[in-house]
Structure 1
Amino acid sequence: IADMNATSMRDMGKVMAEVSHRLAGVDKSVLSGVVKKLLA
């Protein structure tokens, strides 16, 4: 998230796409929960 200068929920799509690209086996539901918490 810090790498991408994501600051709000608007940036969540970009973050999700990038993390999915970097970490192929990541669980999307867990990831979205973490991203939501960090951007909230």
Structure 2
Amino acid sequence: MVSFTVNVKPELVPVMLCGVITWHYITLYYITLQHIMLDTHSPW
């Protein structure tokens, strides 16, 4: 884990953060969409 942090280039950190945030939002959106499709009868 330490070697991974050392080997990461500083200019790649914002790109990685953007990718992680984008992946998080896509996953959250997909889970919410799936929940709405599964529970269309419940109003939340």
Higher RCO by CA contacts (8 Å cutoff, separation 6 or greater): 1
TM-score computed with the length of structure 2 as normaliser = 0.36
TM-score (norm 1): 0.39
**Based on CA coordinates, which of the two structures has the bigger radius of gyration?**
2
Higher percent of residues as helix: 2
